[in-house]
A and B are shown apart, each in its own frame.
Chain A
Amino acid sequence: MVSHKFCEKLTAKINNFKLIVFGEEPIRAYDRVHLTDYFGNKTLDDLFLSKNEWYDENNIDLHLHDTILQVNTIEKYAISKSGIRQNYDYLVFATGSAAFVPPIPGVDKEGVFLYRTIEDLDQIKAYASTANKGTVIGGGLLGLEAAKALVDLGIQESAVVEFAPRLMPRQIDDMASNILQNKLQALGLTCFLQKSTTQILGKNKITGLAFADGSQLDSDILIISAGIKPRDELAKAAGLAIGPRGGIVVDENMRTSDPHTFAIGECALYNEMIYGLVAPGYEMAEVAATTISGEQKLFAGFDMSTKLKLMGVDVASFGDPFITEPHARTILLEDKNKGIYKRLNISPDGKRLLGGILVGEAASYNMLLQTVNNNMPLPEHPETLLLGEQSETKPAGAGLEALPDTALICSCEGITKAQICNAVTQQGCEHADDIKKCTKAGSGCGGCVPMVKDLVAYTMKKQGKYIRNTICEHFNFSRQELFDLIKIHDLRTYDSVLDSLGTGHGCEVCKPLVSSLLASLWNEMILGKGNDVAQDSNDRFLANIQRGGTYSVVPRVPGGEIQPEKLIVIGEVAKKYGLYTKITGGQRIDMFGAHLNDLPLIWEELIAAGFESGHAYGKALRTVKSCVGSTWCRFGLHDSVSFAVQIEERYRGIRSPHKLKSAVSGCIRECAEAQSKDFGIIATEKGWNLYVCGNGGSKPQHAHLLVSDIDSETCIRYLDRFLMFYIHTADPLTRTATWLNKMEGGVDYLRNVVVEDSLGMAETWEKEMQALVEAYQCEWKVAVNDPDIRKRFVHFVNAPSEKDETVKFEEMRGQKKAADWNAPITY
């Protein structure tokens, strides 16, 4: 990486040099910082630092898989493994470092790996499939990354063994380590501290580790990550000065003891220190390139602040994390409940920040780091800095204003605040990705990306530019803009919208979005007018696609109330078509495993029995759940079932930015869980309380009380307004909770709009909603009676009566289930 950076810097400065690169690995330079991503979703192609042609285009000779074996600094030539004798004017060592392997008996056993190169990772990947218990020696930064890799690879029991009394001993203190350990334990990673490994157990293969205290740990895979040692053998053999514990000695120009030889990155020893991070390595590359091109730039040591995410846990350390009295005063926050630890070291006069540690929550890292690096004054009560980001109430960028132009934002690439702001104002960058292309900020470790995003938003806002959330390459509009344009132009089909307002031929992002807008606006049958091919998977066939390619069927059961005759019909239909039945979370019955061909037949029978579509497949109202209410319950205040049925029948089928769920409870005991719904209603002595914008799902959120003690009619009027406001303005696929979270002014603003009619839209919205309600028709009724739509419900268009024979079921508890996903094909 550092060598690549050097090539980049030197070719950018001057072009009268011929650059020749020799590399040990068989592939060109790649991003080692994100090596762990190789276990996740990244491929090698994502990790390469440049395109294949880059070296050619810059006239650089690249010799891969060809190590330099010998250097003669007097006659200035080097000899490679393949026998190339290369003369040079300047020689740069960017040989990096190797993993330090402690001399433990048994480290050569099968199943013991290092964590350094792509090859190491490939070997680990291959071996891990046979392992159940994994261990990492080394609780430092890289060791914990390696442990994460073990967990990602599906190793059931993973452990980290550290010699020191705490994790990440160079970055965090004991209390921070405790918090981190607890968090990692919860994620399936056990940490053993103060353990000195004395032996690797096992015959040929590793079976465990033995420690100096007599204890043992079973393990069938081991990764050693016990630190690094600079690759200085070649330099040493060439007679260059080497530090007592390794490392090629360099001065502030990165020059070694030979004036024509330089060393950069993890092989270089500056001021008795090896810099094992990418940012200082890049800085060294810049210094060496500058010196060689005849200019002057000095290396002045480097800030070793870091922020990383370990298995979802933020850990950051900045400035001087360990400084104590009398040189500093410490402010601590330890929250064992949430697993948060924060430490700020401030100057004895309380005016400057010197450093600190953050575990569990590190959103303020960039701002704190800038405060240290720019020697910015602290607020009167510096302890407020510990209380986390309150970005939801504070306008973004409050702290950005105070940041000097020279503040270094991306330390990997050395990009300042002014450079980023200029990229926005002068080069038209509008996203962090544009900034990355323009300035390279954020392309190294990526830690500064959140701050870059904030800076872009801040600069654009300052320019009065509106930040637009456009849909995709085919529509340069936000959802809201497109909604209004479709309405103004009275467009009724996806193709006409694309022809009038878009470019290209559409995609899987804009098609369902536009289809949803058309449905929200006109409420016409979604499969008509050629719009069927623009519907998302489930809407296209009015059912929910499930594993294997069959569908599930959910008839509407308003309020969860159902007559015995209808229950019998559902049972009979399920038996006849061989369907698996399950009660849903929304008080309905779901029937799974229906072949595409059978869907119209199933629905014909359901419709004949009085059922209608439940829209379980649509971004629309799902269900209005209810408790039994005052008709039976001894506590019930009002008839919650009747009100739930009324509301469900009013809003059924209306398409919205995302699915909508609702509930009505007959008293404050809240058995219908109305406060977890997009809109929920709870009976009071005097009427109903209306709650909005709650949801369950991955990020549960309680609904907010919008208004109290209203009658049924008022409640429905407010709901009309609320829903139309949401349908008009929410971003695509945004639930009401997220929509409210992004709304400036929050629930107070929403209340003003809905209840006080501050926008003067109430009447319009109520009319629009009434039009949608009146346009409702059961989609399935239309579908089974329209031969053109109905003929699409076949698997083979050239053999309409045949079903897909690849669909497989298995038996479970007396019903069927879909067969597991077929094994992926390996290429």
Chain B
Amino acid sequence: METLAITSWKLACRVEDTIENGGVCLKLEDQQVALFYFKRRNEWYATQNECPHKRQMILSRGMIGSLGDKPKIACPFHKKTFALDTGECLSGDECAIKTYPVKVEDGFVYIALQN
């Protein structure tokens, strides 16, 4: 069953502002959001920009990759990794990151901060 939640899409940036197979940081409603364009998989992900390990606003500058089939992001500080789709920590820590829905329309990227 499809859930009909009220999704408020925010215009984030143009596709050309993003970086292929990497991340950029956005300021949306005074929050820092990391946006990743996983071109190799043709997927888009948005997460909080803060790495929960040492609480640094940095995840957008990390390297993305895969663990088996799971898309992931590695924090540039201490290489903690998080699943891009679910936000769970893949390095065995009990912290997770928030993830947000992303959609791309007519060359623009939209992110839903609440859903």
A residues apposed to B, CB below 8 Å = 43, 46, 473-474, 495, 504-508, 510-512, 530, 532-534, 536-537, 540-541, 545, 547-549, 792, 795-799, 802, 804, 806-807, 821-825, 827
Chain A proximity of B21: nearest CB distance (Å): 5
Is B57 a contact partner of A505 (Cβ separation < 8 A)?
no
Is A505 a contact partner of B77 (Cβ separation < 8 A)?
no
Known: A507-B66, A824-B55. A796 touches B26 (CB 8 A): yes
Chain A residues with CB under 8 Å of B101's CB are none
Chain B proximity of A356: nearest CB distance (Å): 38
Residue of B nearest to A472 (CB): B65
B residues apposed to A, CB below 8 Å = 12-13, 17-22, 24-28, 32, 35, 38, 40-41, 52-58, 61-68, 71-72, 74, 76-77, 79, 81, 92, 94-95
Known: A505-B40, A507-B63, A537-B77. A532 touches B55 (CB 8 A): no
Is B76 a contact partner of A537 (Cβ separation < 8 A)?
yes
Known: A534-B63, A537-B76, A799-B27. A473 touches B57 (CB 8 A): no
List 23 A–B pairs whose Cβ atoms lie within 8 Å, in order of A's numbering. A46-B92, A474-B65, A474-B66, A495-B21, A504-B66, A505-B65, A506-B65, A507-B63, A511-B65, A532-B19, A533-B21, A533-B22, A534-B63, A537-B76, A547-B56, A795-B25, A796-B32, A797-B24, A802-B27, A807-B57, A824-B54, A825-B95, A827-B95
Is B19 a contact partner of A792 (Cβ separation < 8 A)?
yes
Is A545 a contact partner of B17 (Cβ separation < 8 A)?
no
Q: Could you say which of A507, A512, A549, A802 contacts B57, with CB atoms under 8 Å apart? A: A549
Residue of B nearest to A820 (CB): B54
Chain A residues with CB under 8 Å of B67's CB are 473, 507
14 extra A-B contacts, CB within 8 A, seeds A540-B76, A807-B57: A504-B68, A506-B66, A507-B65, A510-B65, A533-B19, A534-B21, A536-B76, A537-B77, A545-B58, A549-B61, A797-B13, A797-B26, A823-B55, A824-B52
Q: Could you say which of B20, B41, B52, B56 contacts A549, with CB atoms under 8 Å apart? A: B56
Name which of A548, A796, A824 has the most chain B CB atoms within 10 A of its CB.
A796
Chain A proximity of B90: nearest CB distance (Å): 10
Bound Cα distance A532, B56 (Å): 21
Residue of A nearest to B24 (CB): A797
Bound Cα distance A510, B60 (Å): 19
Bound Cα distance A511, B76 (Å): 13
Residue of B nearest to A530 (CB): B20
Name which of B58, B63, B67 has the most chain A CB atoms within 10 A of its CB.
B63
Is A806 a contact partner of B57 (Cβ separation < 8 A)?
yes
Bound Cα distance A585, B95 (Å): 37
Bound Cα distance A822, B95 (Å): 15
Is A533 a contact partner of B76 (Cβ separation < 8 A)?
no
Q: Could you say which of A46, A505, A510, A798 contacts B38, with CB atoms under 8 Å apart? A: A505
Chain B proximity of A784: nearest CB distance (Å): 19
Chain B residues with CB under 8 Å of A508's CB are 62-63, 65, 74, 79, 81
Is A804 a contact partner of B57 (Cβ separation < 8 A)?
yes
Is B18 a contact partner of A797 (Cβ separation < 8 A)?
yes
Q: Could you say which of A43, A505, A507, A798 contacts B94, with CB atoms under 8 Å apart? A: A43
Residue of B nearest to A512 (CB): B63
Known: A508-B79, A802-B27. A822 touches B54 (CB 8 A): yes
Chain A proximity of B8: nearest CB distance (Å): 17
Is A43 a contact partner of B92 (Cβ separation < 8 A)?
yes
Bound Cα distance A532, B81 (Å): 19
Chain A proximity of B110: nearest CB distance (Å): 12
Is B66 a contact partner of A532 (Cβ separation < 8 A)?
no
Chain B residues with CB under 8 Å of A510's CB are 65
Chain A residues with CB under 8 Å of B95's CB are 824-825, 827
Residue of B nearest to A46 (CB): B92
Bound Cα distance A827, B55 (Å): 13
Residue of B nearest to A510 (CB): B65
Chain A residues with CB under 8 Å of B92's CB are 43, 46
Chain B residues with CB under 8 Å of A804's CB are 32, 57
Is B55 a contact partner of A825 (Cβ separation < 8 A)?
yes
Known: A505-B38, A796-B27, A798-B13. A533 touches B54 (CB 8 A): no
Chain B proximity of A529: nearest CB distance (Å): 11
Chain A proximity of B3: nearest CB distance (Å): 26
Chain A proximity of B107: nearest CB distance (Å): 15
Chain A residues with CB under 8 Å of B40's CB are 495, 505-506
